Amino acid sequence: MIKRVLLFAAVLLSLVLLIGCEVAPPEEPNDEPEWLIGRVDQPLPIDGANEGYPTGPVELAGSIVYLAHDDDYVYVYAEAEGEGWLAAGFNESGSGMDGSNMVLGYYDDGNPAYRDDVGVGNTHSEAGVTAVNEFYFNRTEGVTVMEFSYPMVFPDGEGYSVEQILPDESYSLIVAMHASSDDIDTMHTNFEMTVFQIEP
């Protein structure tokens, strides 16, 4: 009788351990918007200041980023502690960097410069058409600031996954930077994405 009780207890304990150790299924990627980009009634000045952006910032890849739009342009302000290039880009939600529309800011022989790139896999290459409307880039005491305006309808034929940014659709915002190099072909030291929607 004692043997049966002990055997039953052992079987019961085994079942409890098996159920308790069941591995949870991997979480599905979250494509729900985490951030709503506010609308402004008039164009924002591209002057390296974050005043006038109607929604608060998001922190990505060691950077503080503000976004806004006025139905024609998206306005991007990014600020990061670092001595290298800084980039922001857009893509379909969940598509990562491949096919993204990226703007990279950097110093070229001491002068502020930018390049429009298309994400290709985990890298990027220069687009044939530059669509940036206005651009600002400055670095002071180890803090890099980039601000630009970009049309919400992207250039055709450049390989971008997104043709345009539309209200109520979800998109990815990609932010990348290098902590010490202005060589934009150097691999980023920080990289992060979030999902956003444009406010109608």
Contact (Cβ atoms closer than 8 angstroms) between residue 120 and residue 102 = no
pLDDT band at 125 (very low <50, low <70, confident <90, very high): very high
Note down the domain range covering 66.
35-198
Nearest to 63 by CA among 143, 7, 117, 155: 143
Residue 95 has what pLDDT?
Answer: 84
Does residue 12 lie in a domain region? no
For residue 101, which phi and psi values (nearest 5 degrees)? -100, 110
List, for residues 103-121, the tens digit of each pLDDT value: 999 999 999 999 999 998 8
Residue with tokens 């049309």: 151
Nearest to 79 by CA among 137, 36, 124: 137
For residue 6, pLDDT beyond 50: no
Share the mean pLDDT of the chain. Answer: 86
List, for residues 141-196, the tens digit of each pLDDT value: 999 999 999 999 999 999 999 999 998 889 999 999 999 999 999 999 999 999 99
Does residue 10 lie in a domain region? no
Q: How far apart are CA 52 and CA 11, in angstroms?
A: 67
Does residue 97 lie in a domain region? yes
Does residue 15 lie in a domain region? no
Contact (Cβ atoms closer than 8 angstroms) between residue 171 and residue 110 = no
Residue 94 has what pLDDT?
Answer: 82
Does residue 11 lie in a domain region? no
Does residue 68 lie in a domain region? yes
Number of domains in the chain: 1
Strand 63-69 and strand 35-39: the pairing is: parallel
For residue 153, which phi and psi values (nearest 5 degrees)? -105, 120
Does residue 108 lie in a domain region? yes
The sign of the CA dihedral 107, 137, 80, 139 is: positive
Nearest to 169 by CA among 135, 199, 126: 199
List, for residues 25-82, the tens digit of each pLDDT value: 333 344 556 778 999 999 999 999 999 999 999 999 999 999 999 999 999 999 999 9
HSE-up of residue 44 (Cα within 13 Å, Cβ side): 29
Does residue 134 lie in a domain region? yes
Q: How far apart are CA 149 and CA 185, in angstroms?
A: 23
Q: What is the CATH number of the domain that holds 124?
A: 2.60.40.1190
For residue 1, pLDDT beyond 50: yes
